[in-house]
Amino acid sequence: MFFSKLGLLVLSGASAVLGASYSNPLEPKDGGDPSIVWYDGYWYFTATNYRDISVRRATTLDGLKTALPKTVWAPSAEFPTRQCNIWAPELHIVDGQ
């Protein structure tokens, strides 16, 4: 009896989590799949925007809200049909860079 009640409690809690929505506080319009790293005094941020890969940097997390994005990759005009729906760009520090 105890375990069946516990199971119901866990399942009802899980459904509440699955129904939760997420809003990126740094990029509310196109901010899915965010990736943030700290490197050499700056926070670097990128997220899915379905157009290109842009990176912003700031000395504080709050500063990322207003930092200007810099495009680091955009679809090629030479091969426009080979690129679409760029999802989940990630930032990584490799060998200290």
The pLDDT of residue 4 = 45
pTM check: above 0.95: no
What does each of the 97 residues of the chain score in pLDDT, given as a tens digit? Answer: 444 444 444 444 455 556 667 667 777 777 788 899 999 999 999 988 888 889 999 999 999 999 999 999 888 777 666 666 778 889 999 998 8
Per-residue tokens: 74: 């955009």
Largest CA distance in the chain: 66
The pLDDT of residue 11 = 45
CA 20 vs. chain centroid, Å, equals 17
The pLDDT of residue 86 = 76
The pLDDT of residue 25 = 78
The pLDDT of residue 83 = 62
Q: H or E element: which one contains 44?
A: strand 42-48
